[in-house]
Structure 1
């Protein structure tokens, strides 16, 4: 009788350990889709910045996550900080802009 109880406990442990692996596999594709969506939005924002007249984009980096965009880097004048923020806000899909650009005279 003791060996039967031990066998039952061992199979119960195996059943519990297989559930988290299934959950991880189920959530992985949505993370990949989110990453692709974030990269696509960042590309759209970079394109909008590049098309903006009078904006030096050579030292601007763009990151996007769930519609929130972060601009980092430097521009030569204070007015370009505001111009970059406005251009990023105008892109469809952008829900917020954190403008962390700084002025560095070149």
Structure 2
């Protein structure tokens, strides 16, 4: 009779341990902030991409600037221009055109003159 009571007690303890472990494993409060921070990061990338497109469009509309070898990158309103252009005047025009786009906070002009 005592062995049956001991087995019941061990069975109850095992069930309690399993039940507590399951509720702990299902607690997803630690992963909830990660899900909410993914949306702002995606939104920031979209804003950066849109600003980059706007700068690229402004450069293509600028008279006398060859945009075929210019790369535009944007992050948080800071725009970086890289690539090559045929002459120094185009470097200056590209920097001014990028600075004139709404949303641009700063321009890092890393364009170089391509020797032909």
Aligned residue number for residue 61 of structure 2: 51
Separation in 2, partners of 1:54, 1:15? 62
Q: How much has 1:94 moved relative to structure 2?
A: 0.1
How many residue pairs match? The answer is: 105
* Structure 2 length-normalised TM: 0.77
* Structure 1 length-normalised TM: 0.84
Runs of at least 5 residues in structure 1 that lack an aligned partner in the other structure? none
Superposed CA RMSD = 2.0
- Equivalent positions of 1:1-106 (< 5 A) are 10=21, 14=25, 18-106=28-116
Q: Detail structure 1 runs of 4+ shifted over 2 Å in the superposition.
A: 1-16
Runs of at least 5 residues in structure 2 that lack an aligned partner in the other structure? 1-8
Moved more, 83-92 or 28-37: 28-37
